[in-house]
Amino acid sequence: MSNSAVRVASYKPLRGFCLLLAGLFMLLALWDYHPEASRFYQFPPATTEQGNRFGSVGVYFCFYACRWLGATVWLLPMYALWVGGLSLAGFSGHIRRKNVICFLLSFPFGGAWFAFLQYLRWVPPNYRFYSAGKGGLIGVRLFETCFRDTLGSVGCGLLLTSAVFLLLASAFANAEDVWRVFLYALR
């Protein structure tokens, strides 16, 4: 005989507050990041980090996040603020595992999309801020190994644009509703 009760989604203001603080930290660190003032771009390396108001933690976060994720790094603070705001307002039941998985999948596909746009020369690479290009190391590698030679320019444009749009819409909205509308539109 089981005495387990039905689990109800509880109000978690602490999680929401922590996510809001993390989102604000990431947003302000990225906003205030100046790559030429950090020790990664100086020779000989500086002894102190001067490229951010958050010191070496902000500089290291910005440098490696921009290097690995490229321009999709700006999604991190936006999603943290979104989920933190929902959790703080008591709507944490609307955040499902599917939404988080779609958000995590938007990084490689978004990076590949930026690498595709950079490949077509529609977007300048901006190597000063994104040291591996706007696609980041992950996106450029995914685009070059999987998409560029296999699908060509038109196939990459269609696949990556629709994938990025659907993944971000699924991450920020209720995933079942977005996929239902997409499948209805295909009919």
Taking only the tens place, the pLDDT of each residue in 100-138 is 888 888 889 998 998 888 888 887 777 777 878 888 899
Instruction: Please name the residue ranges forming H helices in 3-96.
Output: 13-31, 55-69, 75-88
The pLDDT tens digits for 164-176 are: 888 888 787 765 5
Measured CA to CA, the distance from residue 117 to residue 109 in angstroms comes to 12
Q: Which residue did the predictor score with more confidence, 168 or 37?
A: 168
Decide which of 4 and 78 is more confident.
Answer: 78
- pLDDT tens digits for 52-80? 778 778 888 888 888 899 889 999 999 99
Q: d(Cα 3, Cα 84) in Å, to the nearest integer?
A: 33
Q: Which two tokens stand for residue 143?
A: 């685009």
- CA pair distance 99, 171, nearest whole angstrom: 4
**pTM (predicted TM-score):** 0.74
Which is nearest to 27 in space by CA: 72, 75, 67, 68? 75
Residue 27 CA to residue 162 CA, distance in Å, equals 26
The two three-digit tokens of residue 89, written as one number: 């307002």
Q: What angle do CA 142, 185, 114 make, to 5 degrees?
A: 25
More confident residue, 6 or 61: 61
* pLDDT at residue 37, rounded to an integer: 63
pLDDT value for 157 = 87
pLDDT grade for 22, boundaries at 50, 70 and 90? very high
Q: What band does 21 get if pLDDT is binned at 50, 70 and 90?
A: very high
The three-state (H, E, C) secondary structure of 110-133, written as one string: HHHHHHHHHHCCCCCCCCCCCCCC
Residue position matching structure tokens 């108001």: 53
Q: Which residues have a Cβ under 8 Å from the Cβ of 132 and sit 6 or more positions away?
A: 67, 68, 70, 140
For the ranges 39-43, 46-50, 67-71, 146-150, the lowest mean pLDDT is seen at 46-50
